[in-house]
């Protein structure tokens, strides 16, 4: 689906592209250096300047037991407002509309001071005060691991399920609901700590709201949990969100690592570790995600996490997603580099195939979409997609599916 070609949209895209060129070009000379490189004075200065752009002045900083530093940033000075289209943006604290069938009671019962229904290690050492949001501090070593500052915090191209041009390293096991237009979704996503063999691989469970195509234009809204050592420097499972307005080429990023997403919650830090994890044949834990386009409040895409109003993707940062999504996906993705000519043992989900079922395989449940009539309903035209079912698979039971796998095994050499 090609984007509309009005002058306003071309002007908006030009502003976005100009901003990203401004944001990235001054530091491209850092080049493709690895983490063992000793930067020269000029490159060192450029990296420090980029860190200054990323790390806003903190009103309070909290050292997490896992080594992270969480900075409490003035909510009105968060990175989102560096975006040229958000310079005069008036922050919203809550959406102004909800779809039919949505329960207000759960949201209204969660105050800004209540505890999230899951733990992040930094909570042990403090909390952010009112009027601030928690942001994981970016360190110099984070930039060094990226190899190129221009690529820091960004997915590589072709990470969307079902993409015809998807590169072989990206493997998926997902459920898709296609339709004319969607305005949101819900999902309870099982939380695990999958093993990831290589430092440059990742494993994630997430949802996608999608409109467009690689060949013309592609917008996505994404969120979930991931193990991504190259981005975060460890093998912990961490919360993430993502977005792109041009098929992952020059716009969008993880979390708040570029201007765009507006956070309003002071309890949850994107990019921070999240626990507890589910155990094989033991206790199961899930994160509840809810995303809804606020049709009466500027069309922003709001996200709730475990019934907390977390924040929103402003409609203005998108081209075709500003009009709604054409597809909703839920499931898993793994980046596999076939180390030594073999498929790696990087796991998806629990590391066990969908066939093992409850308590053993990873799941998504309570799946719903918000349709063009602003009604919450279950998937009606859902299809499954697997790149390598002998490595990772999925079984759909309608509103609930199991997915995952171990990677390398006798059928997946």
249 near 159, Cβ under 8 Å? no
Query: What's the whole-model pTM score?
Result: 0.89
Per-residue pLDDT, averaged over 239-250, amounts to: 95
Tell whether 100 is covered by a domain: yes
Tell whether 383 is covered by a domain: yes
Residue 155 pLDDT class (50, 70, 90 cuts): confident
Q: What share of the chain in percent tops pLDDT 90?
A: 73
Tell whether 55 is covered by a domain: yes
Tell whether 410 is covered by a domain: no
Structural domain of residue 61, as residue ranges? 7-404
pLDDT at 92 over 90: yes
pLDDT at 144: 85
Nearest to 78 by CA among 208, 255, 298: 255
Instruction: Count up the domains in the chain and report the number.
Output: 1
165-216 pLDDT, tens digit each: 445 689 999 999 998 899 999 999 999 999 999 999 999 999 999 999 988 8
Q: Which residues, 6 or more positions from 278, have their beta carbon under 8 angstroms from its beta carbon?
A: 190, 191, 192, 284, 285, 286, 350, 362
374 near 99, Cβ under 8 Å? yes
The Cβ of residue 399 has, within 10 Å, a number of other Cβ atoms equal to 13
Nearest to 274 by CA among 313, 226, 310: 226
Tell whether 2 is covered by a domain: no
Residues serving a catalytic function are: 222, 333
Least confident of 1-10, 48-57, 141-150, 172-181: 1-10
H/E element, 48: helix 41-54
Tell whether 166 is covered by a domain: yes
The Cβ of residue 38 has, within 10 Å, a number of other Cβ atoms equal to 7
pLDDT at 297: 87
Q: Which residues, 6 or more positions from 286, have their beta carbon under 8 angstroms from its beta carbon?
A: 188, 189, 190, 191, 278, 363, 365
360-399 pLDDT, tens digit each: 999 999 999 999 999 999 999 999 999 999 999 999 999 9
Residue 203 in 3-state DSSP? strand
Residue 40 pLDDT class (50, 70, 90 cuts): low
Per-residue pLDDT, averaged over 241-249, amounts to: 95
Strands 325-335, 170-190: pairing is: antiparallel
Instruction: State the CATH number of the domain containing residue 393.
Output: 2.60.120.1270
């Amino acid at each position: 689906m090609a984007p509309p070609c009005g002058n306003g949209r071309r002007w908006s895209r030009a502003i976005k592209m100009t901003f990203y060129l401004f944001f990235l070009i001054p530091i491209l000379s850092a080049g493709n250096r690895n983490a063992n490189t000793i930067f020269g004075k000029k490159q060192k200065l450029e990296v420090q300047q980029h860190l200054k752009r990323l790390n806003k002045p903190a009103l309070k900083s909290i050292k997490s037991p896992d080594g992270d530093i969480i900075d409490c940033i003035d909510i009105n000075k968060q990175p989102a407002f560096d975006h040229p289209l958000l310079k005069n943006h008036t922050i919203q604290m809550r959406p102004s509309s909800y779809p039919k069938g949505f329960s207000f009671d759960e949201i209204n019962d969660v105050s800004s001071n209540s505890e999230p229904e899951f733990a992040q290690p930094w909570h042990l050492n403090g909390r952010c005060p009112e009027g601030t949001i928690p942001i994981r501090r970016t360190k110099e070593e984070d930039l060094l691991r990226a190899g190129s500052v221009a690529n820091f915090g960004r997915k590589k191209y072709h990470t969307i399920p079902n993409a015809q041009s998807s590169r072989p390293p990206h493997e998926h096991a997902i459920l898709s609901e296609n339709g004319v237009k969607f305005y949101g979704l819900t999902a309870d996503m099982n939380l695990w700590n999958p093993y990831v063999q290589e430092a440059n691989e990742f494993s994630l469970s997430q949802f996608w709201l999608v409109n467009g195509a690689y060949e013309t234009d592609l917008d996505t809204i994404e969120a979930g949990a991931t193990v991504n050592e190259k981005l975060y420097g460890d093998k912990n499972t961490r919360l993430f969100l993502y977005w792109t307005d041009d098929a992952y080429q020059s716009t969008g990023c993880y979390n708040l690592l570029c201007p765009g997403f507006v956070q309003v919650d002071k309890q949850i830090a994107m990019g921070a570790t999240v626990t507890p994890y589910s155990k094989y044949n033991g206790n199961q834990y899930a994160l509840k995600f809810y995303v809804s386009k606020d049709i009466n409040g500027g069309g922003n895409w709001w996200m709730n996490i475990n019934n907390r109003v977390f924040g929103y993707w402003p409609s203005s940062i998108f081209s075709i997603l500003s009009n709604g999504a054409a597809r909703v996906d839920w499931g898993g993705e793994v980046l596999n580099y076939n180390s030594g000519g073999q498929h790696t043992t990087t796991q998806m989900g629990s590391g066990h195939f969908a066939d093992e079922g409850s308590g053993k395989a990873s799941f998504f449940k309570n799946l719903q979409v918000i349709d063009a009539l602003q009604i919450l309903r279950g998937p009606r035209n859902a299809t499954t997609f697997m790149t390598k079912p002998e490595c990772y698979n999925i079984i759909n039971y309608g509103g609930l599916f199991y997915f995952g796998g171990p990677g390398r095994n006798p059928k997946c050499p």
